[in-house]
Structure 1
Amino acid sequence: MSRSMSGLLDEVGSRKDEVETSLQKLRDLALGEDGEGREADAEVESKEETLAAVLEGLEAATLRSSTCQRRFLQLDGPQLLLSGMAAHLENMKIQLIACRILQHLASLVSLDAAEVLADFGACEAIQKALEAHPNVAALHQAALQALELLAFTGTEARLRALRCGCPEVVVASLKRFRTDAHVQQACLAALQALLEDSAVGTSDSEEESNCQEIVAKLGGIAAIVGALADHREDAQLQYWGQVVLSALCHDNVKLRAEAQQKCHWQRIEIDFDI
């Protein structure tokens, strides 16, 4: 028993060491980027490859271990991660891996991870990543899943997402990737999280109450109905689509009438009171 316990403690310790070592590498890379002078393209590419490799290690660690998630959050992990995203916005691979790390971290409710990440600019980073890479389905899926967790588990995180233009980029993704059921599901889940308080009638914020109007003005109702029509055999997507339409039209007679009309044209039956 003592050996087993000792082995477990060693494993936990090695995981913490792995995170700390990776974060130190991120610090070193950040210091190198702050140096004077313009780097050659080859040197920039080499640094980005190194950064991507470090992030891949952190992504694997935070995926499998809550211990690693906690250590990452307790140190300067969020700041380093989001600074790296900002410095390498045009590098799709870095953005993709970083968004997956945000997914793993945002699920740690016990440390208010969503609020911590939002304070360091996670919502803004996701919004910028989606705009910078409008046609990469894998990135959109990962970024939207991270956004869903941030908005769902953090009240202030949701408000920051609403203020920085996340509803706009979610609707844009919903329209752009109509044939990709995985991205469509991620879009719908993110919209539901952004609409959460307005759906249950507890919104006391101008941003939250305006979210319905923003999504509707952007053509969100037509995009959601289109997703339901395009993926009639996908039970999970059908569920999310109905939930989001119900939230979007909550206490709004005009929006509900528009949604009912569009659903009727597509021969889709919706229970708006779910």
Structure 2
Amino acid sequence: MIIGAGGVGKTTLALHWLHEVKGEYEGQLFVDLRGFSGADPLPPDEPLERFLRALGALPESIPSSIDEQAALFRSMTTGRRLIVLLDNAVSAAQVRPLLPGAGGSLVVVTSRRRLSGLVVDGARFVDVDPLGVTGALELLERLIGADRIRAEREHARSLVALCGTLPLAVCASGARLAARRRWPIARAVAELGDEARRLSPCAPEREISRWTPCSTPHTRLSTTHTHVPTGCSASIPGPTSMWPRPRPCSERTKATPQTCCTIWWTPAS
């Protein structure tokens, strides 16, 4: 399970790694559980019904109760090798019905909370930290260019500090500056420094995570950054393998500029 503040890059780190390993699995299932989106969290029966249809269940064969749907899901996934990404979870109770049956499946959960109740299901936990000033400056440089950073290095440091060195916020501010070549970095700093306007440049998390200006080049991560595969975590599988063996687990990882922005991929049919 990947844990971290909003905007730290939990979903992006998970997607980057899963994009690399998806060839080892027969299909992928993804759902945003809306745990911290400002709307009501998604009840388990909604994604369960979608998952069952994606796996080939006919609408008339899908039970009406959550318990029966969860049992059918476990039955249909037992012995299969699937990736299940449960993004933005709010509680163990929301996640547990969505866990597949025993076999080689890999489950990754992201949340702003440590869902300790999932320990009984085999969960491991990885905390993801912000980039830090150096990494945030590197990310900003990729977005707006080295010349602008060199010309206003102190303002650039102030900007990433106001962003909390969170990849999402740095991407948002960098995208604005990239689209406005005449703007000095100092202007962005002044805007972010204005408490009344601070929320305006940083759109809601789910919107910014899809911005193309954040699509900086993705390089294959070195082992330095892949103690947990690209910061990606604790899978919650059935009784078998936790995650592909060649990639050992660490207790804490840090977002990197190479993986701050989202790769989306479609569940296999």
TM-score grouping bracket, smaller chain normalisation: under 0.3
Instruction: Output the TM-score relative to the length of structure 1.
Output: 0.21
From the two aligned structures, give the one with the greater strand fraction: 2
Q: Which one has the largest radius of gyration? A: 1
| Structure of higher RCO (CA pairs closer than 8 Å, 6+ residues apart) | 2
From the two aligned structures, give the one with the greater helix fraction: 1
Instruction: Output the TM-score relative to the length of structure 2.
Output: 0.21
